[in-house]
Amino acid sequence: MIGRMRKTKLGKIAMAAIVICGLGSCGDSGALGPPKLPSGKSSPEIFENYNANGNSKLAGGWTRTMDMSGVSFDNTRTATLITPRHVVMAKHYSRNPAEKVIFHDREGKRIERTLIGISPAAGDVTVGLLNEPLPENYHSYSLPATNSNIRKLIGKPVVVSDQKRSLFVHLINRIGGGSIAFRHDEKETYGWEKNLVVGDSGNPTFLIAGKELILIETHTTGGPGAGPYYGNPTIQSAIRSAVAKLDSSYSIRTVRVP
């Protein structure tokens, strides 16, 4: 488990604010359109300036197309929205009731909530309840439907996040036994990669399905990353039960992938 494990070596990770492109050619691609994977080594950072106590400025480039408004990055024990009022966290590295949970929308606007309850689910998953639901401009993510074609998912690119508020593109290596594991792309098709380290636990991984980001995993172990597969019937059933136990007026959404 990353939250308790020994640090692994950093892989090929982008230096803080380096953008590989010609002067003046990388501006804010901006557009709040559908998610778009990078075609080269552009900056992996989500924020140009992050402020847990106020509004933040999002970075330009490819990460700007990724809607991270439903991910709370103010604490290394990351929390990710699955309904407007429920979050998922790594069970071995979760926040406690009464702690603040901070989100920033796609324009960098800050909003604060308080975690008021938690309910363990299957595997390395804990579901948390916020004191109030978030408005629509803070996105809650769908999970993979349990009838998704796992064989067709192998080799697909996924967007992996970390505690430093950065995004990387890895490939799905295997799915089975309630877990999913990733690998690095030897061709480096999408640019930067990372070996996950202590403190990255609970950060989410997303699969792009059309114009939507599907929450497919939250990190448990290091290296290219591995954790609970959110399309697994046992994992998903336990999440549904935890959501209902905490506030049954909400329910998760699922999307069949790929």
Mean pLDDT over 100-125 rounds to 98
Angstrom distance (rounded) from CA 154 to CA 170: 11
Angstrom distance (rounded) from CA 33 to CA 100: 30
DSSP string, 179-203: EEEEE--TT-TTS----B-TT-TT-
Reported as a single tens digit per residue, the pLDDT across 204-256 is 999 999 999 999 999 999 999 999 999 999 999 999 999 999 999 999 999 99
Identity of residue 148: S
> What is the distance between the terminal CA atoms of the chain, rounded to a whole angstrom?
28
Count: domains in the chain: 1
Reported as a single tens digit per residue, the pLDDT across 163-193 is 999 999 999 999 999 999 999 999 889 988 8
Report whether 121 contacts 242 (CB < 8 A).
yes
What per-residue confidence (pLDDT) applies to 31? 53
Mean pLDDT over 139-165 rounds to 97
The CATH number linked to 254 is 2.40.10.120
What domain range includes position 110?
Answer: 1-258
Confidence at 20, pLDDT banded by 50, 70, 90: very low
